[in-house]
Amino acid sequence: MIDLDILTALRARAAQILTANGYHTNAGAQIYQGRVFDLETDPVPAIVITQPEDDADLVEDDEISTAPRWISTFVLEAYAAVSATDPLPDLMRLRADLLTACYRPEPDRTDTLGDTVAALVVVGTTKLMPAPGQTIGMAQLTLRAEYAEIIGE
């Protein structure tokens, strides 16, 4: 199950987001996989990894494999306390930490998660400002992984 391998690799990368490792934040201190984050009760900083959708297409022009090509989307949401008066710089650092840790393109601009996937690409990023009177913000990174796999083998 390559999608589980991808999840494991992304979790390991996200766990490196600690100031002791040179990052701006300690978002990797707590990582949740596939759950809804509760701003009221869950401790921050934290990262939530979800997989909202899967699509499978056959690889018709691939000379190496006749396995279906899977395109899986993974969303990483990093939550942290941010400045109540100027949250944007804090959220930009949080987003930078996600990008730096979780997306590592080779010189050819392709990230293969150590040859786990054909390509891991950034679909987009976003930031969620804290609600008035709140100090918890969120930076989101959406990645798409493309890989070939015959299910059941």
Mean pLDDT of 90-114: 84
Short-list 44, 138, 142, 137, CA closest to 99: 142
Number of helices followed by number of strands (H, E) in the chain: 2, 6
Q: Which two tokens stand for residue 13?
A: 């990368």
Residue-level pLDDT at 21: 97
Which residue did the predictor score with more confidence, 61 or 30? Answer: 30
Residue 48 has pLDDT above 70, yes or no: yes
pTM: 0.86
Mean pLDDT of 93-115: 82
Kindly give, in sequence order, each residue whose CB lies less than 8 Å from that of residue 127, ignoring residues fewer than 6 positions away: 88, 91, 92, 94, 95, 137, 138, 139, 140
Q: Average pLDDT over the chain, rounded to whole? A: 86
Residue-level pLDDT at 127: 96
φ/ψ (deg, to 5) at 111: -105, 125
Choose the weakest-confidence range: 17-26, 125-134, 143-152.
143-152
SS3 category, 92: helix
Q: Which two tokens stand for residue 68?
A: 């279906």
At 72, the pLDDT band (50, 70, 90 cuts) reads: confident
Kindly give, in sequence order, each residue whose CB lies less than 8 Å from that of residue 42, ignoring residues fewer than 6 positions away: 32, 79
Q: Count Cβ atoms below 10 Å from residue 38 Cβ, excluding itself.
A: 8
